[in-house]
Chain A
């Protein structure tokens, strides 16, 4: 992968971290707030497998762990799991239309992430795991994805897989 692309992925990661932090503002605890990491995992998988993307997702996950008081490693594992599912969706042979690939990447990625978070919590000995806020946040993630995909998934891929 080229250097500009790597910088672009890094910038997207920083923006995702800021989006997560924005959701921590006073008065927004009850609000549905998108899981920006899931956008990246689902969208960046369209480029194919990349260690750089995996590394950026892990960094973002660690930041989310600190922000969300989660066990360290829980969100990196969840984002990697979502990335893995999204890769399977995008790399499926014969290739499926881009819209289906995106739906499977997003929904499958969320299911993989929620399972990974539950497993991570029990492995780290954390008491309790609330799915309610996650599901609400995922609905917002899915609702906003059609807008965000234009930033994450390049036009050449969208057009080629139409």
Chain B
């Protein structure tokens, strides 16, 4: 008998086999119930917290490797830091220039009375974990709900569009890449003006699905987001078109360099269109209601004396207005709440010094 126990005593272990097979069958049950949206929603809630754990695990295991294999800062890293600091200084100059131009554009838009796309505050984050497995191509960024990130934010890097945020934890957010099977992004060509859906298929780049006018697409043409879904900003660079058999593919800009730092951009802040009023109080027409309306309209001229100088008759269905000549009711002390909706007679009320303060603006005219 070894330290791990007695191995293979010879007798068939029916109970153990049944348990293992039962575990396998139960997995099928668990998988099958995930077709339900409610179950998936529940699982997504647990995934939100697990994204943070996954990011921490990736950091922890890389920390162990760094400690055990002696990975650390060296001369090469120092040189890289110096180079990056120089780039930051350079970029600061570009940032100032961009801000000046944005200000000018805002003023031009105001002059032209153009309804622009107001953009919310974006969040810059670092990618802390990557996943490129059989089921998903995703990244985890180290900014979450606590930093103002919400589901549906567009994710861009220095090259162009990377994907969009599909789940947000407190301090992490899961990014679905353009190459994922589930990714669907409305795009358009900058030269052809053609519009299509960019669909990931886990291959190199992504394919264009159902372009409106495929004959107009030019090889090498730059494609950008069209913003047709109202969720992604318009004009974010996606990639360049390439002919692939009968269809077209886009060589994605995001694949030009590793995705490390990303900007999480909120959806454009369009004003919501006014909703039509509900038809709750309107009853459908019936024969009786139509007949009574017609009778009222026909009967109305008979009540008005016709004459050469008579004014055009008005339908008799109008509600009677309060008579202006109605004698004023005796002055009473009103409660403090003014009744704005009630029609008040125009008759001036005598000022009552003792009561004036209660109504606020009752007299003193």
Contact = CB atoms under 8 A, between A and B. Distances in A.
B302 interface: no
Interface in B153-190: 174, 180-182
Contacts of A73: 27-28, 30-31, 34
B207 interface: no
Given A26-B127, A26-B129, A71-B135, A2 B3 contact: yes
A127 B58 contact: no
Contacts, number: 173
Main secondary structure of the interface of A (DSSP, over half): helix
B134 interface: yes
Interface string B190-204: 000000000001100
Contact of A22 (B4, B61, B135): B61
Interface string A1-43: 1101100100000000111011011111110000000000000
A22 B28 contact: no
Given A22-B65, A49-B16, A124-B35, A69 B134 contact: no
B57 interface: yes
A88 B16 CA distance: 15
Contact of A68 (B27, B135, B139): B135
Contact of A128 (B20, B50, B61, B202): B202
A26 to B, nearest CB: 5
B85 to A, nearest CB: 21
A28 B35 CA distance: 31
Interface residues of A, number: 59
B2 interface: yes
Given A18-B61, A25-B58, A129-B135, A74 B31 contact: yes
A146 B177 CA distance: 35
A76 to B, nearest CB: 5
Interface stretch (B5-13, B221-229, B230-238, B329-337): B5-13
A40 to B, nearest CB: 14
B27 A120 contact: yes
A69 B2 CA distance: 40
Given A22-B65, A123-B28, A156-B2, A71 B34 contact: yes
B131 A67 contact: yes
Contacts of A147: none
A107 B2 CA distance: 28
Given A51-B19, A77-B31, A21 B60 contact: yes
B151 interface: no
A125 interface: yes
A80 B54 contact: no
B20 A30 contact: no
A117 B31 contact: no
Contacts of B8: 48, 91
A133 B133 CA distance: 6
A120 B31 contact: yes
Given A70-B134, A125-B35, A21 B54 contact: yes
B134 A21 contact: no
29 contacts: A4-B4, A5-B5, A17-B57, A18-B60, A24-B57, A24-B130, A25-B130, A26-B127, A26-B129, A26-B130, A27-B258, A48-B8, A51-B20, A58-B23, A66-B46, A66-B50, A66-B54, A68-B131, A68-B136, A72-B43, A74-B31, A77-B28, A117-B134, A124-B31, A124-B34, A125-B35, A128-B180, A130-B135, A154-B3
Given A25-B129, A29-B132, 16 more contacts: A21-B58, A24-B58, A25-B62, A26-B127, A49-B17, A51-B19, A55-B23, A66-B46, A120-B31, A123-B32, A124-B32, A127-B182, A128-B181, A130-B134, A134-B133, A154-B2
